[in-house]
Amino acid sequence: MLCSRQLLLSVYIVTFLMGVPANILALFTFCHKVRRRAAPIDILLLNLTISDLIFLACLPFKMKEASDGMVWLLPYALCPFTGFLFYVTIYNSTLLLTAVSVERYLGVAFPLRYSMCRRPRYAVLASILFWVVTSVNLSIVYIMPYTQWSNGADSDNSNGSTASKSAGPPPTCYQNFTQDELNIVLPVRLDLFLVLFCVPFFICCFCYVNFILILTRLPNIGRRRRLRAIGLALGTLIVFAVCFGPYNASHVVGFARQESEEWRNVALLSSTLNAGLDPIIFYFSSAAVRSMLNHCFRGIMAKLHILRCGGAPHQRPSKTDKYREAPLP
């Protein structure tokens, strides 16, 4: 248990430190790009960045929970609220990554036809739909903690406890379910696995496999650009499978065994890392992100060079200064 707690805390901290600056940089880049000239993929990646930042904002609460031995010592109202946002953003990322794969596939497979109906508002509507779908499917994460609290108070009342009206909240957050609660939670988890993981993953695989096949047959694309696009497709599929696969597999195992698996928290760590890996996808997906990152890198290197040289860089005097400093005859 101690090893698991330390592992959770370590991964949460590393993901937070990596993900926050990278996603903030991506957020400013996409906001600037959308204000200038919005493209559908920019809107999708902007929503993915916002989703990752909301996820990262929930990590400090998860850090506190892990440091307390998975006991919830914060105000209990934060338990359903942060848990709801935490899981909604995880599954929203799967849908947004799938939408990016569809957008890329259509742009390569049907370039002329797709360019005629390629409108930013469709990406906006798709993003809104994704937020609604994930929020509805994950509503149980918000409802169940209050149900556990209510069931605990009813249990105290049935046992004749005089303190039933002031019964405290459960000591844990969205854990330690009764059999009646598992009868509700486990089918919902299986539904999440089928609807919000399997379907997006199969769509993503279809789009990127055909995307790669089409690129390999196109003669008018440079080798460097082709390899970068293929690397992006393969990298996204690997991130999708590695980051979201283990946690969703726990849904199937739990449903088959009719219990909530104890290793679910460890499997969730792979999904947590996704918030730190998404900026890599942003870098290869968007020229604006690459330009902004290269600009920041050059600025940092210039400042380091100034500090290493011990002062401001030497500037050559202008012609005006030369004439001004020249002695009069």
CATH number of domain containing 247: 1.20.1070.10
pLDDT value, residue 111: 86
Position 74 in a domain:
yes
Asked if residue 293 is part of any domain, the answer here is no
Q: What is the mean pLDDT of residues 278-287?
A: 66
More confident residue, 215 or 162: 215
Binned at pLDDT 50, 70 and 90, residue 195 comes out as: very high
- Asked if the structure places residue 294 within a domain, the reply is no
Q: What is the mean pLDDT of residues 50-56?
A: 94
- In a domain, residue 156? The reply is yes
Q: Band the pLDDT of 113: cuts 50, 70, 90.
A: confident
Q: Whole domain around residue 11: which residue ranges?
A: 2-285
| Residue 78, domain member (yes or no) | yes
Q: Residue 92 domain-assigned?
A: yes
Please give the residue that has the higher pLDDT: either 107 or 282: 107
Average pLDDT along the chain? 83
Q: What is the pLDDT of residue 304?
A: 65
- How many domains, the chain? 1
Report the percent of the chain where pLDDT is more than 70. 81
* Radius of gyration (C-alpha) of the chain in whole angstroms: 26
Note whether residue 106 is domain-resident.
yes
Within-domain flag for 159: yes
| Over residues 93-116, mean pLDDT | 90
Q: What was the pLDDT predicted at 329?
A: 42
